[in-house]
Amino acid sequence: AKGRVREVTVSLGDLTLTLDPFVSHATNYGILLGTDFLAPIKANVRYDHNVMEYTNDHNQRNRITIVYV
């Protein structure tokens, strides 16, 4: 990692997160997310269906398609 950036806003559909991510040398990804943001949004990763279920900004459950690399 090259360093850390503070308070970066990331939007995933109807969910907005503020993260303190590390800057990476990777150039082949738009963004690499770790797993520390999963607990606060009550995420459930459904590997068998390629989706992540989560609680959105309106306290409702929703899901997005995820891609594994």
pLDDT in tens, 18-51: 888 888 887 887 766 778 888 889 999 999 999 9
The pTM of this model reads 0.65
Rounded-to-10 torsion of CA 20, 23, 24, 30: 80
pLDDT tens-digit readout, 7-24? 989 887 788 888 888 888
Contact 61, 55 (CB under 8 A): yes
Give one DSSP letter per residue of 7-58, joined into a string. SEEEEETTEEEEE-PEE-S--S-S----STTTTTTT-EEETTTTEEEEE-TT
Residue 3's DSSP bridge partners are 23
